[in-house]
Amino acid sequence: MDSTGISIRRTGRVAVVRFDRSDDLNALSLDLMGQLTETALSFQEDAETSAVVLTGGSKAFCAGIDLRDPQLIGSFLQPVGRRRQALAIGPKMCRAWESMDQVTICAIEGHCIGGGLALAAACDFRIMGRGARCRIPELSLGMNLSWQTLPRLVHLVGPARAKQIVILAEEVSAEQAHIWGLAEEVVENGKAMEAAIAMAEKVARMPPIPVRMTKQAVNAVTNALDHATAYMDLDQLMLCLTTADHREGLEAFLTKREPTFKGE
């Protein structure tokens, strides 16, 4: 485990990547997102690995972006160009994991919230412990859903379910996620990693070259229009961050009260 909380373990043609900040939230700081991006990119020249299992903390896969991260807070005080650059770290991380040649399998225990779910949706498969919960609270904080996550969600659960998850910010149980298509398998608590490794080993037993070709082909068909439909979501986020509703949503979140939005 390095100083960022990321570890990589390889067994045969399977690699396990764990990011764990050793707290109950396992939130994404800007530094951690940069390291996760670099980790994904480090597999580009790796022809010996067929599948990568991605997992977070044992109590929470990931509680989303760390709103208390000093680097993130500092970026809001920067000129527009640098602020935009900082906000681009999240979508770069998701694209890096989505575009990996290796099959990626997400093992999820505990909470999977906001940016954590965005990262999980960028992987090929998701396996959840029975007690795991998913939620996207961005709209309740006066923000849009960015990181080009919306088309990925629509591909997985369909337009109505995507609206239900994003607009209503409803918590989705592991069983519901399985029914909706957000998770491929639900297992007993604490067994998500074991099940993900078992799936990765199945992939590893297949011939590596056609596996990679097939993944690339499926992604090309599925994601053909994703950039065209979501390329502006970062700039929409920057606009949302200037609104009074965002300030109200963030203050309400930090002080644990119900927000009052006015469309301003």
So where are the chain's domains? Answer: 6-193
Number of H helices, E strands in the chain: 13, 10
Q: What is the mean pLDDT of each run of 10 residues along the chain (264 residues)?
A: 76 97 91 96 97 94 90 82 90 97 98 97 98 96 95 97 95 98 98 98 98 97 93 92 93 92 95
Of 117, 157, 158, 123, nearest to 137 by C-alpha is 117
End-to-end CA distance of the chain: 45
Per-residue pLDDT at 192: 98
CB neighbourhood size of 112 (10 A): 33
Q: How many CB atoms lie within 10 A of CB 171?
A: 14
Give domain 6-193's CATH number out of 3.40.190.10, 3.40.50.720, 3.90.226.10, 3.30.565.10: 3.90.226.10
Q: Given this model, what pLDDT does residue 4 score?
A: 61
d(CA 83, CA 79): 6
Calculate the alpha carbon distances from 74 to 51, 68, 70, 81, 94 in Å: 37, 10, 6, 14, 23
Task: Please tell me the distance from the alpha carbon of residue 108 to that of residue 174, in angstroms, as a whole number.
Answer: 9
pLDDT of residue 80: 87
Note the pTM of the prediction, 2 decimals. Answer: 0.94
Residue 97 to residue 124: CA distance in whole angstroms: 9
